[in-house]
Amino acid sequence: MSKNKVLLDVNDGVAIITINNPDSRNALSEDVRSDFDLALEKVELGAGKTIHAAILTGSGGSFCAGGDINLLKASSGKPAAEMQKRLQAAHLLMTRWFNLEIPTIAAVDGAAAGAGFSLALACDFVFASPRARFVLSFGRIGLIPDWGALYTLPRIVGLQKSKELAFSARVIDSEEALELGIAYEIIAQESLIATAISFANRFRFASTTAIGITKNLLNKSFERDLNTSLELEASGQAIANNSEYHLKAVKRFLDKEPSLFDWEKNKIM
């Protein structure tokens, strides 16, 4: 993996993936995509074993500016099938991140534009600095939102607001992002990464099996009817009920020992 375009640091069970392409405000160049793919592969291998949460961020005062201008120039006017194939490959990468069976946290400082905004939306939680800016900029150049934004955004802000944000391609500041439910919390720039790590560590003693199953079912809950959801809940619960974590947790309860996972007690801020 290139040491320049994407950085991966794993410390005490928290993986930090940093898009490190500051000259283009961390745009998703071919090198960035390739390196992100390799970093994600390593996180996937450790997920639920040596890694209990993952943070995605950007370097140099930007989160991610979205599509690389050179790629946009190269693809303009090309056959539709060629663009479709390239985007399908990008969507495979986004889907792997979206479905990662551990909590994912976006630490957004500066611009999250275009596909960069989409990447933030694909995270379970978004921490934003006061100078964070979010924009579905696709409409400014006659394109439609991609990298999953047409799926994730309506589930967060609703259909009408999603249409407004997509059609207008206007900028959302951190305060509005918080009001809309896009941002989980606004954190001072100098504390952004430390806070994201502290939040990630609150999952340290949680059952990665239970979180993985819950996340998977919630991510697809809008597409299912009640009966299907109940059937999947029953299947998922059967798996969780038979996990080593659950058996040990029940024993701790019966032995009147404190729970290993306690959200408030695990808070380190």
- Please give the full DSSP string across 202-213, using - where no structure is assigned: TTTTS-HHHHHH
What is the pLDDT, as a whole number, of residue 1?
Answer: 44
* Mean pLDDT score, 181-193: 98
> What confidence category does residue 2 fall into, taking pLDDT thresholds of 50, 70 and 90?
very low
First to last CA, the chain: 33
Contact of 115 with 28, CB cutoff 8 Å: yes
- Please give the full DSSP string across 217-236, using - where no structure is assigned: HHHTGGGS-HHHHHHHHHHH
160, 120, 162, 171: which is closest to 144 by C-alpha?
Answer: 162
Model confidence at 268: pLDDT above 80:
no
Q: What percent of the chain has pLDDT over 90?
A: 84
What residues does each domain of the chain span? 6-201, 208-254
pLDDT tens digits, 119-141: 999 999 999 999 999 999 999 98
Model confidence at 8: pLDDT above 80:
yes
* Mean pLDDT score, 70-83: 67
What is the pLDDT, as a whole number, of residue 269?
Answer: 47
Model confidence at 73: pLDDT above 80:
no
Report CA torsion sign: 183, 186, 189, 192: negative
- Poorest-confidence range of 76-80, 115-119, 150-154? 76-80
Q: What percent of the chain has pLDDT over 70?
A: 93
What is the pLDDT, as a whole number, of residue 264?
Answer: 81
* Mean pLDDT score, 177-188: 98
Q: Does domain 6-201 have CATH number 1.10.1740.10?
A: no
> What confidence category does residue 84 fall into, taking pLDDT thresholds of 50, 70 and 90?
confident
Model confidence at 154: pLDDT above 60:
yes
Helices (H) and strands (E) in the chain, counts: 11, 9
* Mean pLDDT score, 164-189: 98
Contact of 207 with 150, CB cutoff 8 Å: no
Strand partners, 128: 108, 186
pLDDT tens digits, 11-31: 999 999 999 999 999 999 999
> In terms of pLDDT, which residue wins out, 73 or 246?
246
> In terms of pLDDT, which residue wins out, 269 or 239?
239
> What confidence category does residue 252 fall into, taking pLDDT thresholds of 50, 70 and 90?
very high
Q: What is the mean pLDDT of the chain?
A: 92
